[in-house]
Amino acid sequence: RQEAAEYYRSHRVPQRMEEALNALFPQRPADLYGELANYFSKFSKAPVICKLVGRRVLDGVGQPTLEVEIYCTVKNYEKRICSTVMSSHSQIPENALPETTEADEKERNDSVNTAVEWVNDSLSTMLRDLKPTDQCKVDEMLGEYFTKQAEFKKEIEKQEEEAAEVTLALTLCTPSATALPGGKKAAKPGKKVSATERMIPPAEPVESVLCGSLAIGATSLAIAKAGATISHIPLYLHIALLKHDQDLPKEMTVPLPMVTLLNCEKIPPAKLKLVKEVMLIPPVQLSLKQGIERVLGIQKEMTRLLESPGKVQSSPRLADSKKGKAHNTGKKAPPRALRRISHLGCLITGCDNLEQPLLLMQTACNNLGLELGTDVYLAINCAAHELMDYVKGKYEILTGMFKSPDEMVDMYVELINTFPFIIALIDPLRKEDRQQWNHICRALGSKCYLIAEDAATCISKLKTDQNRNIPMCSGVVLKYINQTKVSDLIELTGLLDGQRHITILGSPDGESSDDSLVDLAVGLGARFVKLGGLSRGERVTKYNRLLAIEEELAKNRTLR
């Protein structure tokens, strides 16, 4: 009894019990024991990480990806706090060869399996007993672990190269029965390289991705979610506090959505190759809810026009390009193939020229009494890096029609002058065509945003040297993939803000139902968010989260 009394006195239990009883008696709460539990919970130890669980799951397009669960010791009990599912991302273009796609799928499978091992073994042990609210320390340890793994891989590759050189040397030392002594094999006459090809900068090598690297990004984001949950605040507030050194901004903004309405396919009979996505941006004077409703109305009208192409009045070429006419029999025509939904959550259609999707969009808006450039704006994802023909040294913008980088600049200037309601061009050129990026920025920088998405390298390299890793542009699309950490995003968006660059948070092609990207965009103060279309559950759940955040900020009177 004396030991027990001393134990409780050393922890000030009698004193705090008396304080609790005195404080609660005047309130006479309906749930007395619940209120006592709340009172004493503030004296309990802070939750610490006890284990991480990684598992292989599927993303929105059926590709394998990684889920990370965080378990913490809370009031002496192990408790599951949260989980996050990493969005998968591929650098393979849509028109890639089948063998390239197969190799990418194998690499993705290996990476996910390795990531699961990292999480369940090394990372779970390494992060045990750390506070989930200590994001900086966790990210620092994750970064060190990733660096060690990258160095280990380089060492293995170096050993393999040395072994291959030894094997080659031994092979060359073996005399060949057919080789002539001192004879040199004549080079075969090959196809001459054109002057144009020599003039264009060669494609930079594809950024190598360390097998298992998505374990780093997934764990960092899961820790951030756990920190927000433990602190009883939304993730976007937790991110804002991390970015502003725990000094919460008095007001917060909701980023403008770039809503994908059309995905232009690049296979026959379609001729247009230049446009990958046509996106709508609602005006800033509308609330997000009003903007989404307006975009939905335009999407419905677009669907109607695509099903009945004869009804498009303002573009005869558009109507003529569709085969067949709708029958005036009073019966609804069956849905056409154009009604297909892309993995981006939008309508898929093929076009014959650059003006066709723009005139179609203009017709849909006119039919609803809306004016492009006033009531809604357009953005185009050109994805120019997928169009370069390196033999000709030119971009194939239409089937059989090629333009040099300088001609591309002239074409974009004419396009914006003809359609001034286009306020953003994403990846209008390859990242290697830096001279043309400078030209287009000087020509159009005051008229529209010129955004680098594929033209920007990975976030870790952007942090190191932005001037070297991105061409001259108005802003950058950042994607939370692979070894990206929350601290990396916070640091990079701070640098971009200081340079007055536009920050856009974009979702990868292989999106998951995890809506954390939206909280990241709001907490980091991104200007735009690029989430795809208003179809498919993994896309719509993010728009719903964005709407909920806007409502919450408005309710708290912190919405700017």
State which of 27, 43, 59 marks the end of a domain.
43
Cα torsion 154, 160, 161, 162 to 10°: value is: 110
What gap in Å lies between CA 215 and CA 142, rounded to an integer? 9
Mean pLDDT, rounded, for 441-446: 94
pTM over 0.75: yes
Kindly state whether residues 4 and 78 are assigned to the same domain: no
DSSP string covering 467-535, please?
HHHS-S-SEEEE---TT--HHHHHHHHHHHHHTTPEEEEE--SB--S--HHHHHHHHHT-SEEEEE-S-
Query: Per-residue confidence at 457, pLDDT binned at 50, 70, 90?
Result: low
pLDDT tens figures, 264-294: 988 778 889 999 999 999 999 999 999 999 9
Q: What percent of the chain has pLDDT over 70?
A: 87
252/219 same-domain check: no
Domain-embedded: residue 187: no
Is there a single domain that holds both residue 157 and residue 283? Answer: no
By residue range, what is the domain housing residue 28?
1-43
Q: What's the pLDDT score for residue 318?
A: 34
Which pLDDT score, from 0 to 100, does residue 268 have? 79
Max distance between CA atoms of the chain, in angstroms, equals: 107
Backbone angles phi, psi at 82, to 5 degrees: -170, 175
Q: Do 222 and 284 fall within a single domain? A: no
Do 344 and 492 lie in one domain? The reply is yes
**Is residue 472 included in any domain, yes or no?**
yes
The tally of domains found in the chain comes to 3
CATH number at residue 103: 3.30.390.10
Each residue's pLDDT tens digit, 399-424: 999 999 999 999 999 999 999 999 99
448 and 393 within one domain: yes
The stretch 50-72 carries a mean pLDDT of 94
Lowest mean pLDDT among 30-34, 87-91, 435-439: 87-91
Structure tokens at 190: 């090959």
* Domain identity same for 221 and 241: no
The two three-digit tokens of residue 154, written as one number: 């380089």
Residue 372, strand partner residues: 376
Phi, psi of 180, rounded to the nearest 5 degrees: -85, 135
| The pLDDT of residue 41 is above 50 | yes
Query: Which one is predicted more confidently, 350 or 175?
Result: 350
User: Could you report the per-residue pLDDT of 203-222, keeping only the tens digit for each?
Assistant: 887 778 899 999 999 999 99
What's the mean pLDDT in 81-104? 78
Closest by CA to 54, choosing from 270, 262, 230, 212, is 212
Do both 225 and 294 map to the same domain?
Answer: no
Q: What is the CATH number of the domain that holds 262?
A: 3.20.20.120
Residue 552 has pLDDT above 80, yes or no: yes
Catalytic residues, by residue number, are 482
The per-residue pLDDT for 197 is: 46
Radius of gyration of the chain measured on its C-alpha atoms: 28
Question: What pLDDT is attached to residue 407?
Answer: 96
